[in-house]
Structure 1
Amino acid sequence: MATKSQLDTTPLPLKTVITIDGTEYSIDASPIPYLASFVDFESKARPDATTLVHGPIPLFPVALKGVESGYRHCFRGIPADISQYHILCETYQFLGVDVLDGQGLDEISANLKAGKPNYELEYASYEEIRGDKSKARNAAFKLLYLMLLGEFRDEKRDAAKVFNAVLFVVSHSATFKRGTRTSVQLAYEDRFVITEKQAAMLNKWADKSNKENSHMEDDSTTEEEDSTGFSSDGYDYDWDLD
């Protein structure tokens, strides 16, 4: 009988040691096209080199964490400062990272709801199936990226759909932490002209979520450490903004 090691033929990702801005990283460059090209070029140009050295790349530690562990970690790496998120998204663009992975607004919006629990009928009673908060939080960063650097077929028409997605994030504090909610709202306000009605809706939910979760929220917590907290997660929104 074949052993487990014999059956598992999946190759481990090859990692390259690169010093970037004075800090040494062991990186699998394959999901980062710019670095993959850099490693390939340097290995051919200097085959005897023992180390690869690259200059500063803005917010590279945060960008790398997002690639390796999920984009939700970007919200933990920088404050709710829209200028910092512009820099981070531009760094991803420079590195050639496909943050959206081919996803459009509709798919991102659907994934935002992955954090909500589902219920299945089991032996005459309903059993709760825990939602995937990691997937939802990764989608929140993709939404932010789409707003800052993405293109829309019809900016006026899509603005309402984007607002509904943003409102979903802001109003679901059991899934999205304060830094995420604030940053996503700031990205919307940066990209679109916000109406008084929209601002009132967002600020209402932001104030309510912040007050009721101020004693338990921490953007550094892991999914396993999450507490339930205030939640409007039983409701979906599709506001008529006309």
Structure 2
Amino acid sequence: MSKLSQPMTTTSSPSITIRIGDVRYDIDVSKIPYLSSFVDFQANTQPQSTELVHGPIPLFDIALKGIESGYRQCFRSLPADLSQHRILCDTYDFLRVDALGGQSINEIFRDLKPGQSDYDREERREIKGDKSKARDTAFKLLYLILLRDFKDEMQDSAKVFNAVLYLVSHAATFKWRTRSVVRAAYEERFVISTKQTAALDKWEKKDTAKLAVEDAGDVTTEEEKSDCYYTSDYSD
């Protein structure tokens, strides 16, 4: 690939071409504080350079997809492997991206719920759930569990568990990879009781064939704008 023909500029123009590792990306650096600072530094120290080059950043392509298209894309782009999701969260931390948007666990729990449709009895109509928002929030919950400290370990762990249980019990909104990884993160981060394990196991789906179909169907569609809640039993 040829180099850029013009000297690089500062972040006044947010979309900038940067080669990270072996791949060139057009990036809105205003959304990524670390890269915004990197561009400014390079412009000041190497003003005549025609190409911005940065070393490899683990899982950067997936991190960028999450920033540009919603964090739900992260679950879709990685296997159900907690270690890979931890690397991705570390990359967001390195890039100084505020994945949580300043939200607390209470606010995250609230934003998991828009994925479920509701019925307005006064207007006699269904209010469609916003699955995109709920699924993006699921990644925020994962990030919170993996990287954030808690002021009150016992009280906060109970709040996080309630959020995890809600997520695990709403399989119509949160697909298998999301449920699996978030549960694994909670079980690794906190001491889980026998009662909590039983509550999570109640919603565990073990039919591998149907799980494979569910996982394969986890794509961005208009279906994300609606929801039909169902319980742990598969409908035949």
Smaller-chain TM-score bracket: 0.7 to 0.9
Paired residue for 2:140? 142
Residue 120 of structure 1 corresponds to which residue in structure 2? 120
Matched pairs, number: 220
Residue 122 of structure 1: how far off its partner (Å): 5.4
Structure 1's 144 and 222: CA in aligned 2 closer, same or farther, altered over 3 A?
A: same
Listed as ranges, the gaps of 5+ residues in structure 2 are 1-11
Structure 1 partner of 2:230: 231
Question: In 1, distance between residues paired with 2:81 and 2:100?
Answer: 21
Preserved contact between residue 129 and residue 227 of structure 2 (Cα < 8 Å): no
In the other structure, the counterpart of 1:39 is: 39
Preserved contact between residue 20 and residue 54 of structure 1 (Cα < 8 Å):
yes
Whether contact under 8 Å (1:120, 1:129) holds in the other structure is yes
What is the aligned partner in structure 1 of residue 177 from structure 2?
A: 179
Q: Which has the higher mean CA deviation after the structures are superposed, 202-211 or 188-197?
A: 202-211
Residue segments in structure 1 that go unaligned for 5+ positions in a row: 1-11, 234-242
- Paired residue secondary structure (2:174): coil
In structure 2, the residue matched to 1:58 is 58
User: Scaled by the length of structure 2, what TM-score is found?
Assistant: 0.85
Question: What is the deviation of 1:118?
Answer: 1.9
- Output the CA distance in 1 between the equivalents of 2:213 and 2:98: 36
**Which of 167, 180, 197 is matched with 2:195 structurally?**
197
Tell me which moved more, 38-47 or 21-30. 38-47
TM-score by length of structure 1 reads 0.83
Output the CA distance in 2 between the equivalents of 1:186 and 1:55.
31
Matched, 1:222 2:200: no
Identify if the C-alpha distance between structure 1 residues 36 and 132 changes in structure 2 by more than 3 Å, giving closer, same or farther: same
Q: Distance in 1 between matches of 2:85 and 2:163?
A: 18
Q: Point out 4+ residue stretches in structure 1 off by more than 3 angstroms.
A: 208-217, 225-230
The AA in structure 2 aligned to 1:170 is: V
Q: Deviations over 1:97-128 (max 9, x none)?
A: 001111000000000001011222356xx211
* Percent of residue pairs bearing the same amino acid type: 55
Does 2:77 match 1:105? Answer: no
